[in-house]
Chains A and B, each alone.
Chain A
Amino acid sequence: MSLLEVDKISMRFGGHVALDAVTLHADPGLVTALIGPNGAGKTTLFNVICGLLSPSSGDVYLDNKSLTKLKPYKRARLGLARTFQRLELWSLLTVRENVQVAAELRAGFGSDGVDPRSEIESIVERVGLSDMIDHRVDELPTGQARLVEIARALATKPRLLLLDEPASGLDDQESEGLGHLLRELAADGLAVLIVEHDVQLVMDVSDHIFVLDFGRVIANGDPASIRTDPAVLAAYLGSSLEQPS
């Protein structure tokens, strides 16, 4: 069994089927990517995994434990952290305080003695925001705000990290830095599940890719096989998937 198992999740909004029996998994030490055109259901799947939406049917397991009945905060306490595509930062607080709130909560609810409160500055440094640490987050441009979200998620010392389009709004250099960071996190033993439109970045960093289209998984495999998969190429018709990396 993988750390994260998504088992035949379906999600309907009224008559609209946003997710249709989606099954996927993510493992520690690997970067798993979830790609697909806009509106494919990627963000919806993240919301289901972390409990902000309850699915119409199907189950989510973390480490063989069913999450389906757990509230979002209970899931977070089991080691699940995420970032948001539409940023959900605490704009009344500084970068430091954003990370601090998460670290303080983790120190409170963790039973493993991990206390990330002393690591706030190193976590902020890790995402490259040391210069901005005492700025209010609503003063930051979108790209850097995304990095704050990652720092905040890391401060909960998660086992599974869900990143929703973390590279949008970053410049090339920052994207590259993000790629390194993701590889490092995987090397540390984290399971990383990333939704990203930057195909270059996805191909570079991921070990395994799931492709979602109209709420269905249409393909999965390593980057090389995804690049040549006919169903994927059809879904991405006209996009940049075929560019050599």
Chain B
Amino acid sequence: MSDFLSFTIVGLATAAIYAIGASGLVLTYTTTGVFNFAHGAIGMLGAFMYWQLRFDWGLPAPLAFLIVLFGFGPLVGVLLERGIFRGLQGTSEAVRLVVTVSLLFAMIGVANWIWDPQENRLSEKFFGGSSFKVIGEIITYQELLRVGAAVVVAIGLRVLLYRTRAGIAMRASVDDRPLAALNGARPDRSAMLAWAIGCSLAMLAGMLYVGGIALEAQSISLLIVNAYAAAMVGRLRSLPMTFLGAIVIALVQTYWGAYVPQGSEAAWAQYFGQSIVFAIPILILFIVLLALPAARLRGHGLTRTREFYPMPSWVGASRFAAIVLAGALMAIPLVAAKDSLTIAKLFGTGILVLSLVPLVGLGGQVSLCQFSFAGIGAVTMSHLGGGSPIGLVYAMVFAGIVGAIIALPALRLSGIYLALATAAFAVFMDRWVWKLKPFKLPFTDVTIDLFGTAGSLSVERLKIFGFDSGAKGKVLGMNLSPEDRQLIVMAVGFVAVAMVVVAIRRSSFGRRLLAMKDSEAACATVGMNVTGTKLAIFSTSAALAGLGGALIGVANQSTNADNWQFLNGLPVFMIGVVGGMGRIGGALFAGISLQVLNTMAAWPVLNTRFLGMGPAPEGWYSKFAFASPGFMGIGLGRNPNGAVSDMRVGFEPILMSRRALAIVSIGIVGLYVATLRVDALNGWIFILGTVVLLIVGAQIGKSDAIAKGTLEPDPDPSIEEFDGTHLEWVGIDRPVTDTDIALLDSKLGLTREALA
């Protein structure tokens, strides 16, 4: 019995941390409408700052504690509100999601940048671990501090929200910002206050967690997933229910860890024993999701959006496919064998991004667990593939089925819940499923063995239609190493998936997805089963990710759990959105950027072949490379169509003029042949030359197209501003000029053709 009591005390101390973290999350969400995926990362920053002050610089603990709690916390909150979140008002839920996910990623990057993750950062328990006794129970002062802090937070928030003007204004601005403003509240100030308090609470939770552990940026940031579960019990609204949720979760976790036998030989203990303790909050989160009532169908009235999803033509798609395949083939003689493999993986990443295009770009849904599906694909391929393409089919089927099961509880709910459920699933896989040792299913002879005892699986290389991608030798006169063959397989895989995506967009299914993204209410009233449609696209997207994972496994010849971690998958999501979710070109862009940035694997390519410099330097920019997908994601919102549409607008004129097209294509082919023949030329010069050709070609194409009248000239910047006079005063302050009329006409879209 006394054991039970002491476990309860331990559990309550953990619950206190979850509750403080979750209450900050709920506060910012209800006040500002932003669900902050970076909340845990902010807590992590607080923990590191505290460590810095207390253990590195040796400040007294209370001083360090107060500096972080009342200094850094509010400061970070205010900076985030002013710098990022204020600008997000009125943007779509998806954009806000990407921004906070990017923030999570960037913060981990920044923390690893400042505090080298290779070093061990130990911390001491609060109050030197000293304790006191109450009715025979030993209670540490650290536990008392944690629980006490939670009680103070609970009372403080209650008083703030119900007894103070500022708090009442905060509650009002949730429901209706403009209305609250009319009534004299100042929503911006409420939002800033909410962010300041929210960040302080996050950092408080982070600091309380520090006592006695070694600091590690990623795991502390992801601890927040446990707090999500607590917040979900309170339906992201009720603080008392959130506290209750935190207590239940922490106690279940603690009792489980205490009473379920560890390390026993029994099958059930093998898979329920140790590692599931960490997955318990997520299981609870899923149960709560199942119990939540379905959300109302979303409608919004007619909006004018800046997003644009043009119908891709088969001609254009084939041209894209031909260019990609030709590019892959041309690269083979230029790069060393291991670099072929690097480029091959770039296409693999591209496939994972492509898998998101129909889901996010067309359907307006979100998935943060594409990497988990990819992992399922890779494991399936290893077990069932054996070099046969049938393995790819299995990979897709398995990933698709798991996708459907995950999505089902969340699809009835609004977007943020789907994001949460998918993130939770990914962490669930990280914490439990991927860690399972081989075990026998109870009452059967079936052995479940994911990554074997070694934690890593080998994947056989594909043999398709008599093409053995593991062999060497000549094919159709080209000397192809196994690595070169992977490049070909991956490029073909990428193009095939791209075609599937184009086909979806062009089909009635694709139209339905775009409709659903816009107005679910209208979809339902013309007889569309909205939940079924969401399920279909989610499952399709998971299947495509499974295919991508299987192919990546094949290229690597192996796969392990570390390949498919939640955090590794986030950049795919973020850069994919930045690259543009409406276009297949965006996926390629994302694949290239990620390969270049995230792993810096492209460095050896540039290095060996092009630059001849020393080994890849370790340094600030490889850390920057890790954080930069986060920065790119944060910058989103300027152009919701993504970077590729900018590039496309720039280079489109090449296709509008035969002359420009001829110059560019002949130039590139000539340069390529020269590069192969002439020793002094190398791939680096080839790339530079190609870029120059493209830019020159775009200029020629533009002037030709303007001469032909197929392209409008750029507006003359000199007439942009009405000479600084406000439009209302033109004609009063000064006479109307022809320039004014021309500008007005162009703003109103009254071009020559429109009038003719």
Contact = CB atoms under 8 A, between A and B. Distances in A.
B530 interface: yes
B525 A82 contact: yes
Nearest to A78: B527
Given A88-B519, A92-B309, A72 B524 contact: yes
Contact of B525 (A76, A89, A106, A138): A76
B512 interface: yes
A236 interface: no
A25 interface: no
B508 to A, nearest CB: 4
B6 interface: no
Contacts of A77: 527
B307 A92 contact: yes
A72 B299 CA distance: 13
B297 interface: yes
Given A97-B511, A100-B511, A104-B508, A92 B517 contact: yes
A75 B375 CA distance: 41
A50 B524 CA distance: 9
Nearest to A137: B302
Contacts of A137: 302
Interface in B486-529: 508, 511-512, 514-515, 517-519, 521-529
Contacts of A61: none
B522 A89 contact: yes
A106 B515 contact: no
B365 to A, nearest CB: 15
B511 A52 contact: no
Interface residues of A, number: 37
B524 A73 contact: yes
Interface in A131-167: 137-138, 142, 145, 152-153, 155-156
B526 A92 contact: no
A93 B506 CA distance: 12
Most B C-beta atoms less than 10 A away, residue of A80, A81, A97: A97
A102 B301 CA distance: 18
A138 B514 contact: no
B304 A101 contact: no
B299 A88 contact: yes
Contacts, number: 108
Interface in A80-118: 80-82, 84, 86-93, 97-98, 100-102, 104-106, 109
A188 B303 CA distance: 34
Which of A73, A138, A152, A155 has most B Cβ within 10 Å? A73
A90 B524 contact: no
Contacts of A88: 299-302, 519, 521-522
A191 to B, nearest CB: 16
A101 B307 contact: no
Contact of A91 (B299, B302, B512, B523): B302
B296 interface: yes
A180 interface: no
- Specify the main secondary structure of chain A where it touches its partner: helix
A71 B532 CA distance: 13
Contacts of A91: 302-305, 518
Contact of A93 (B307, B511, B530): B511
Contacts of B508: 100-101, 104
Interface in B286-331: 296-297, 299-305, 307-309
B527 A92 contact: no
A101 B526 contact: yes
A22 to B, nearest CB: 20
Residue among B304, B512, B529 with most chain A CB within 10 A: B529
Contacts of B528: 73, 76, 101, 105
B525 A86 contact: no
B526 A90 contact: no
Interface in B161-179: none
A164 to B, nearest CB: 11
B524 A71 contact: yes
Nearest to B362: A92
Contacts of A106: 526-527
A137 B300 CA distance: 15
A233 B518 CA distance: 41
Given A73-B524, A156-B526, A52 B297 contact: yes
Contact of B514 (A84, A92, A145): A92
Contacts of A87: 301-302
Given A73-B524, A73-B529, A101 B518 contact: no
A90 B527 contact: no
B301 A101 contact: no
A53 to B, nearest CB: 8
Contacts of B511: 93, 97, 100-101, 104
A138 B303 contact: yes
B525 A81 contact: yes
8 contacts: A52-B299, A73-B529, A76-B524, A81-B525, A88-B301, A92-B514, A92-B515, A101-B515
Interface of B: 296-297, 299-305, 307-309, 508, 511-512, 514-515, 517-519, 521-530
Given A50-B525, A102-B526, 19 more contacts: A51-B524, A73-B523, A73-B528, A76-B527, A84-B522, A86-B301, A87-B301, A90-B514, A91-B304, A92-B514, A101-B511, A101-B526, A105-B526, A105-B527, A137-B302, A138-B302, A153-B525, A153-B526, A156-B527
